[in-house]
Amino acid sequence: MASSFAIQRTASTVTYATIVVGLCIVGAAMLVRRRSELALVRLLPITLVLFFVWLAVTAVWSTGTVRTLLGWLILAAPAFLAIVVGHMRDTLQTVRALGDTLRVLLSASLVLEILSGVLLDLPIRFLGIQGNIALGGPVQGIFGTRNMLGFVAVIALITFVIEWRTRSVPRGLAVFSVVLAGLLAVLSASPTVFVLALAAAAATGALALVRHAPAVQRRTVQIGLLIIVVLGGLFAYAFRRGIVALLNAGSDFATRAELWDTLLIYVRFRPIQGWGWFGPWPTSEFPFASINIITNENHATALNAYFDVLLQTGWVGFLLFITVCALALFRAWLVASSRRSVLYAWTPLVLITLLVDSMFESFTLGGFGWLLLVICVVRAGLTR
C-alpha cells in the first residue's frame, strides 16, 4: 500500500488492483486455514463494522451509486488485508515487516532523488520527482507528494525507534534507518512534518511519564495529561495564525481554510446522511465539482479526513469514524501504559500520528494510511 503511487505510475492502476485482489485472496485462504483459532466476535471491532455498513448504505442517496459502491470496495480491500495482518501476526512481527518495507521504500526514494537532482539534474516526471534535493528540498520520493513522503517518514521514524528499543534489528541498521527517515522528513519540507513529529514526541513523553508512574498514581497522571491535551488544543486554536506563520505554511493553510469553508456550506444541505461515500473525489460529481469551481482548484480530497467523512457520510458516519478511532486509541493507550515492553507503544503512537495528520490531509481514508489505521484498530481490540 505504501508503494501504491509508484506501482500505478510504473505499471498501471489495473496492475495495482490485481495485486491487491491477489493479496485479498491469499489473506482469505489464511483466515480459512486458521479459522479454528479465530473467534468471530473478536475478528473485528463492532464499531468498524457499523462504519462500513453506513458507508454502503450511503449508496442509496448518493449522486453516483456505482461509484459509491466502488469507493466502498476500494476502502474494504485494504481493511480486509489489515484484519488479516492483525490476526495472523503479533505486534512485533507487524513492526518488523513494516520496518523492512519502509526501509526499502525510503532508500529507493533517496536514491532516485539523488539520481534526479544531483547526477542527472532532471526531474523524473512520471514519478513526480522534481529533483530538488540539491536545493535542500522539497523532495517527493516515490510517494507522489512531499506531504505524503513526510507522513511516511514520521511513521517510519516511530517504527524504526521501536525496532531499536526492542533490539529486533542490529544497532547499525537501526541507526541507519532512523537517520534515513529523519533526513527525508526534513528534505520533504512538508509543513505537516513538524506538527506530526511534535505530536509523536509529546505522546512519547506522556506515555513514558505514565509508564514510570506508580500504579496508584497512574489514573491521576492520565487525567492530568488529558487536561493538558485539551488546554493545548485550545491554545493551538487560539494562536493558530501565529503557529501557521511560524511554520511558514500560510499559503497551504489559506488554501485549506477556503476549501473547508466552502465544503461546510454543502454539509448543511445534508448534515445527517452526507452526499454518499466516494473516497477520492470524482471531480464530475456534485457537490465535489461545485466545490472545485468555487475554490478555483482541482482538489481530490478535503485535505482533512474528518471533513471528508463529514461531507460524504454526514454526522452519522462522522460520529462512527470518531468512535472507531477514539476507542482504538483509548484501548491502545491503556495497554501501552500498563505493559512493560516498549513494543506496545507502537500502536498508540502510530494512531496519534494518523489522527493528527488527518487534520491536514485525507491520507487516513485510503491506501497506506487506512491500512495502518485498521491494523491499529484491530490490534487495540485484540490486546485490550
Residues comprising the chain, all counted: 384
Q: How confident is the model at residue 312 (pLDDT cuts 50, 70, 90)?
A: very high
pLDDT in tens, 213-227: 777 777 788 888 888
- Is it the case that residue 144 has pLDDT exceeding 80? yes
Judge contact between 305 and 270, C-beta under 8 A: no
pLDDT at position 331 is 92
Lowest mean pLDDT among 121-125, 160-164, 210-214, 355-359: 210-214
pLDDT at position 244 is 61
**Residue % of the chain over a pLDDT of 70:** 94
pLDDT at position 250 is 60
- Is it the case that residue 105 has pLDDT exceeding 60? yes
Within 89-170, residue ranges assigned H as helices are 91-114, 146-166
pLDDT at position 1 is 62
Q: DSSP per residue over 79-94, as a string?
A: HHHHHHHHHHS-HHHH
Single out the residue of 45, 43, 44, 68 nearest to residue 57, CA to CA: 68
pLDDT in tens, 12-30: 788 888 888 999 999 899 8
Q: Distance between alpha carbon 342 and the CA centroid of its chain, in Å?
A: 22
Cα–Cα distances in angstroms (integers) from residue 151 to residues 100, 104, 141, 358, in the given order: 17, 16, 12, 10
Range of 38-52, 182-196, 305-319 with top mean pLDDT: 305-319
* CA distance linking residue 195 with residue 344, whole number of Å: 23
> Residue with C-alpha cell 492530568?
224
pLDDT in tens, 240-262: 666 666 655 566 777 888 899 89
Prediction pTM value: 0.91
- Is it the case that residue 342 has pLDDT exceeding 70? yes
DSSP-derived letter for residue 115 is I
* CA distance linking residue 18 with residue 4, whole number of Å: 12
Number of H helices, E strands in the chain: 15, 0
Would you say the C-alpha torsion 97, 102, 107, 109 has a positive or negative sign?
positive
pLDDT at position 41 is 63
> Residue with C-alpha cell 462504519?
51
Q: Whole-number mean pLDDT of the chain? A: 88
- Is it the case that residue 7 has pLDDT exceeding 90? no
* CA distance linking residue 148 with residue 369, whole number of Å: 10
The distance in angstroms from the start CA to the end CA of the chain is 27
**Residue 200 DSSP SS3:** helix
Cα–Cα distances in angstroms (integers) from residue 169 to residues 97, 98, 183, 344, in the given order: 11, 13, 20, 17
**Residue % of the chain over a pLDDT of 90:** 51
* CA distance linking residue 174 with residue 164, whole number of Å: 5
pLDDT in tens, 27-68: 899 888 887 777 766 778 899 999 999 999 999 998 888 999
**Residue 129 DSSP SS3:** strand
> Residue with C-alpha cell 494510511?
369
Phi-psi group of 144: left, alpha or beta (phi > 0 → left; psi -120 to 50 → alpha; rest → beta): left
**Residue 269 DSSP SS3:** coil
